[in-house]
Structure 1
Amino acid sequence: MTTCAEYLVNQLQAWSVDTVFGIPGVHTIGLYRGLPKSRIRHVTPRHEQGIGFMADGYARVTGKPGVCFCITGPGMTNIATALGQAYADSIPILVISSVNERSRLGLGNGYLHELPSQRNLIAGVTAFSHTVLSLEQLPQILLQAFSLFRSGRPQPVHIEIPLDLIESDASHLPILELPRQGRLAPDPELISAAAELLLKAERPLLLVGGGCQAAFEKVRLLAAALDAPTACTINAKGILPDGHPLALGSNQSLVPVRKLAAEADVILAIGTELAETDYDVVFDGGFKLNGTLIRIDVDPAQLNRNFVPTLALPADAELAIDALLEQLPLSVLSHDSVGAQRAAGVRKQVSQDLQGWADYSRLFDVITQALPNARYVGDSTQTVYTGNHLVELDGPRRWFNASTGYGTLGYALPAAIGAKIADPQSPVVCLIGDGGLQFTLGEMSSAVEANAPIIVLLWNNNGYGEIKTAMVRRDVEPLGVDIYTPEFKTIAQGFGWQAARATDHQDLARLLVEAGQSRVPTLIEVCETAPFATAP
């Protein structure tokens, strides 16, 4: 007999799933029946929030869905925060959970892990949440999930299997091949209209979001063809490489870039929500688009949110860019073009505006020189906020963090572990603060167990420094922000990590190089004091 759970594992393996993140529990024991006989690796975090964050980091690096096994009830309420972050940032995660027996659903009799409706609870942070009520539904629902991941807006999907079905006989269910699946192609008439507008533009602007990651080479060709200064969202960082003559960085919240955006006569926005946490991190409503706006997005519902376009093209980013390039003249990238000169002028002004961040700029110079090929996974912390503006890299999927969208704390440590599992060859630097690290501190043991030698660069200001500053600015007496800070070096060593406190930039560079060559995880503590930061 092949149980439902064994069938599930066999089907996932047939679709090239190689890793599952999960914590076994009394309600998911049956799900684990097929895993030991498969080629799928199982990684055990220490909290269900860690399950979701690890799957998120894995998905952002690979572009493939991160797959989770999760227990009924508290497991699902715990993982909901991670799904909220993934939902906001369009990250593909598949959560397979158990749920109480079909005959017990919704009765409120106090069964173990019972919720009034687990599916409805999770539906708000997923593209869809489905309860499998018969074995025959499972192949179809799995296909729907992977169809969404491959061609739609890739957000989390939740599938729950009742306990009375998990170990039922599923020998009759077929192992399916993923069908050849097309992507959403643009309307040729609208492409022609967009190309006509762009060819007539005197002050074009290109806005690029995370939806363009898979098409980054085409984006570079498009920017050159349009001779358009280009701003990338935080999730799109690296799509234009460091030093690109048309690059504006991720500085849409700074005055020089805002001025350029307001003066642009035609704006092309691709794969971006045009949302607050990418374009208005100062939260003053100052980012304006006054010109003709053309939007391209794989999600039709997103096309009219935040900024209403003149032309709205529901389409896959790469297919739309290919269609546009066919109607635009080929252009050789030049540092002397009008667009490059416009971008250079703005970069110079931005550099002047960021002079107050010289300490952080030097810090990142040290890090990037010591680990030139690193990926960076960030929490909500000062090094991440500044790095979003300061750091430019040579490729996508190398810089992502939880300061965008949902904005959760505790993300970076488990997400960095997931990123390292996805790409063991590249150094992975976790940028996190002392407050955020304490949210998911237990995942330090997961890193050792999973053989994921990440590097945690801990920015220690002995509390919730950003919130304390905000309280003072709003004339609120600081309360609850000066928290007890443990001795992180001792804790890390207790988990089996290497740990040290950097004394200066030269010492930090040495520690980073050593950590990049280590086979065990490393914590490097950097205190928010001189020489790393100058007191205001």
Structure 2
Amino acid sequence: MQRPLGAQISHMLKDRGVDVIFGIPGVHNQEMYRGIEEAGITHVLARHEQGAGFMADGYARATGKPGVAYVITGPGLCNIMTPMGQAYSDSVPMLVISSCLDEVADRKGQLHQMKDQRAAAETVCDWSEEAQSADAAYALVARAFAEFQAQSPLPKHIQVPIAQLVAEADPAPAAAPAMRQPAVHQDAVAAAAQHIKNAQRPLFVFGGGAVSAGGQGGPARAVLERSKAASFTSYAGRGIVAPDDPLHFGASLARPGSADVFAQADLAIFVGTDLAEVDLWRAEPGHACPAIYVNLDPQVLARARAADEVHQADARVWLTALAATLETETAKTAWRAEDIASTRARWRGETDAERPGIVPICDALRDVVPVDTMIYSDMTQFAYVAKEVWDMDRPGHWHHPYGFGTLGYATPAAIGGAVARRGLPTMAIIGDYGFHYTMQELGVAVELGLSLPIILWDNGKLKEIEDSMVRAQIAPNAVVAQNPDFCKLAEAFGARSAAPKSLEALQNAVTEAFAAQGPTLIYIAPDLAGY
């Protein structure tokens, strides 16, 4: 039956598996809200559109499904552009649907008016399009979901003029058959397998794009067992490799010494990783040997050199085919487990020396968080250390604003993850300054009754920036801000709070927070571990 287009869009999203929408209603997009409850979709009311975007991001990372957000014209869209940029840099599937003015050229001074809203959004996402009819809206939604399935998942933006949202429209067409990703060519996989067998020091690097291939029983671990190759993961790829794998270097690509490891390899295999600046913090990994690249993104594959091989393929499918091709009994390796263990110990010591006091707190937390805990962290020194020393036993369970690097991500993203994983443990780690950016979203966690521990690391300043200024011989300035009493602030929202004074007290507070009905802010400072 006919309904206003705004309502029909919600029904179309429901038919494509959307069960939660994050957003804020306004007079310009209220027609989009007409059909949400009727379609059977849950709406989570954020306190700011930036929070809505991060919640959608966190939901998408937890489920693998697109996170969907509804926002209004103008400032609503501008506010969510930071999360869109974060999702774009980290390849997170997000669909932002906004209203827009019917025209902006003839009249100035309209409510929420921008010169070119569509173009502004396009700077931080895969594409941004305007639907000037119901058919166009349906086609764009269908296109977005098809691309989420078949390509590297990236955020999209669709804007619909207010007059179109109000107008009666026929229902959206049924979903088309699922898109298929590029096929794996068995002869190419067999050639790669032969190269791996011939290598004395094959070295794998697994990135976030290989998460579906990791974990216990996954093809990534089978390939490593059969090839006797050494491995790294990117920060986003932690948990793909077993933490006790004796030939695993960990998530230490950014350690300067990792370049020396790459120099020893006679074959490098990069699976599902962009080798971005925030992975390496240098231009190249450091290998002089041939390489094999496996990725869905042609832009990544285009970096290969003439002697390299490229495979445009899904990491899980490719690794499954490779595991079936490798022969266990013929695998040999020149990598020595004792050398790798010594290297990892040295790197752990370097990490602890660079930012003292954090490693023992990470160890204490890791020992008490429940199995299957999903963690969302922020741009804070605590997370920078944890990403290197906190081994994960399963992939896709630690999420961080890697590329765009925005402050304020962790709290709302963890809320989105907790909404997606009701009944399963979720935790946030955020710094004192980043907490200021999105602290208002704590009210959402209280409203929804989410059992969410929020670890707040308060070093009283923008410590990473201060350290950088000192290294650059700049007198530190503008790095200290007046903080509130964070525990009282959390309680004012209706949340629980704790300020443990020892590692044992921290462990108890975390255990209690996971069992609580509602969020708990756990305040910790650098002196907790005695530094």
TM-score calculated relative to the size of structure 2: 0.94
For the residue of structure 2 that corresponds to 1:223, the secondary structure is helix
Q: Which amino acid aligns with 1:521?
A: P
2:139 corresponds in structure 1 to: 140
For the residue of structure 2 that corresponds to 1:499, the secondary structure is strand
Task: Indicate if the aligned counterparts of 2:21 and 2:41 stay in contact, CA closer than 8 A.
Answer: yes
Please list, as runs of the form range in 1=range in 2, the aligned pairs for 1:25-424 lying within 5 A after superposition.
Answer: 25-101=26-102, 104-107=103-106, 109-171=108-170, 173-216=171-214, 217-280=218-281, 285=283, 287-305=285-303, 310-330=308-328, 338=335, 340=337, 343-354=340-351, 356=353, 359-373=357-371, 374-402=373-401, 404-424=402-422
2:480 corresponds in structure 1 to: 482
Task: Indicate if the aligned counterparts of 1:453 and 1:521 stay in contact, CA closer than 8 A.
Answer: yes
Task: Indicate if the aligned counterparts of 2:22 and 2:45 stay in contact, CA closer than 8 A.
Answer: yes
Distance 1:164 1:303 in 2: 44
Cα distance change, pair 121–160 in 1 and its aligned pair in 2 (3 A): same
Q: CA deviation at 1:239?
A: 1.1
Distance 1:46 1:380 in 2: 21
Task: Indicate if the aligned counterparts of 1:184 and 1:316 stay in contact, CA closer than 8 A.
Answer: yes
Q: Which amino acid aligns with 1:531?
A: L
Cα distance change, pair 37–309 in 1 and its aligned pair in 2 (3 A): farther
Distance 1:313 1:107 in 2: 51
Cα distance change, pair 412–174 in 1 and its aligned pair in 2 (3 A): closer
Q: CA deviation at 1:509?
A: 1.1
Deviations 1:480-509 (A, max 9, x none): 111111111111000001012111111111
2:529 corresponds in structure 1 to: 532
Q: Which amino acid aligns with 1:532?
A: A
Deviations 1:380-409 (A, max 9, x none): 10110000100011111211112x211110
Distance 1:458 1:481 in 2: 18
Task: Indicate if the aligned counterparts of 1:256 and 1:349 stay in contact, CA closer than 8 A.
Answer: no
Distance 1:219 1:345 in 2: 24
2:9 corresponds in structure 1 to: 8
Distance 2:331 2:69 in 1: 44
For the residue of structure 2 that corresponds to 1:531, the secondary structure is helix
Q: CA deviation at 1:349?
A: 3.5
Cα distance change, pair 320–514 in 1 and its aligned pair in 2 (3 A): same
Please list, as runs of the form range in 1=range in 2, the aligned pairs for 1:420-459 lying within 5 A after superposition.
Answer: 420-459=418-457
Distance 2:331 2:60 in 1: 32
For the residue of structure 2 that corresponds to 1:91, the secondary structure is coil
Task: Indicate if the aligned counterparts of 2:203 and 2:269 stay in contact, CA closer than 8 A.
Answer: yes
Unaligned runs of 5+ in 1: none
Q: CA deviation at 1:358?
A: 6.9
Q: CA deviation at 1:218?
A: 1.2
Distance 2:502 2:334 in 1: 42
Distance 1:399 1:333 in 2: 32
Distance 1:308 1:274 in 2: 18
Q: CA deviation at 1:44?
A: 0.7
Task: Indicate if the aligned counterparts of 1:10 and 1:175 stay in contact, CA closer than 8 A.
Answer: no
Distance 1:307 1:194 in 2: 16
Distance 2:105 2:297 in 1: 33
Task: Indicate if the aligned counterparts of 2:297 and 2:312 stay in contact, CA closer than 8 A.
Answer: yes
Cα distance change, pair 355–440 in 1 and its aligned pair in 2 (3 A): closer
The more displaced of 502-511 and 246-255 is 246-255
Identity between Structure 1 and Structure 2 (%): 33
For the residue of structure 1 that corresponds to 2:358, the secondary structure is helix
Distance 1:332 1:166 in 2: 64
Q: Which amino acid aligns with 2:96?
A: V
Unaligned runs of 5+ in 2: none
Q: CA deviation at 1:345?
A: 4.4
For the residue of structure 1 that corresponds to 2:286, the secondary structure is coil
The more displaced of 174-183 and 26-35 is 174-183
Q: CA deviation at 1:188?
A: 3.9
2:519 corresponds in structure 1 to: 521
Task: Indicate if the aligned counterparts of 1:229 and 1:340 stay in contact, CA closer than 8 A.
Answer: no
Distance 1:332 1:501 in 2: 55
Distance 1:368 1:516 in 2: 14
Cα distance change, pair 193–273 in 1 and its aligned pair in 2 (3 A): same
Cα distance change, pair 406–305 in 1 and its aligned pair in 2 (3 A): farther
Q: CA deviation at 1:84?
A: 0.6
Distance 2:358 2:80 in 1: 33
